[in-house]
């Protein structure tokens, strides 16, 4: 596949997700193309699914004593639900 210069990938460390100092929370996911550029929410409609929240349901993963689950918001943006296990 030819690189058209528009794609990107990245890796996020999990330590910030599991060390939030509270029992649970929601992280909205953004990217920033370069320093001082505006933040952009991650989420994209590349198909004919208008409401991703109910269609694309992902399982949680366990990181230490914390469950992390990606999900789409009602606006089709990507967020992470973080919940500390009891």
Going residue by residue through the chain, which has 86 residues, state the pLDDT in tens, using 9 for 90 and above.
567 877 777 777 777 777 656 667 888 888 888 899 999 888 866 677 878 888 888 999 998 888 989 999 988 888 999 888 77
Sequence-ordered alpha helix ranges (H) in 1-86:
15-18, 52-55
Question: Which sequence spans correspond to the domains of the chain?
Answer: 20-84
Which residue has 């910030």 as its token pair?
16
Tokens for 24, please give them.
Answer: 């649970």
13/26 Cα distance (integer angstroms): 16
Rounded to 5 degrees, φ, ψ at 82 are -115, 125
Q: What is the pTM of this model?
A: 0.73
Q: What is the DSSP letter of 38?
A: P
């Amino acid at each position: 596949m030819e690189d058209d210069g528009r794609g990107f990938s990245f890796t996020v460390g999990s330590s910030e997700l599991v060390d939030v100092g509270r029992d649970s929370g929601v992280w909205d996911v953004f990217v920033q193309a370069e320093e001082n550029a505006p933040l952009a929410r991650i989420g994209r409609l590349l198909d004919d699914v208008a409401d991703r929240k109910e269609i694309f349901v992902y399982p949680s993963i366990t990181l230490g004593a914390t469950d992390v689950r990606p999900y789409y918001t009602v606006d089709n943006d990507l967020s992470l639900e973080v919940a500390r296990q009891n």
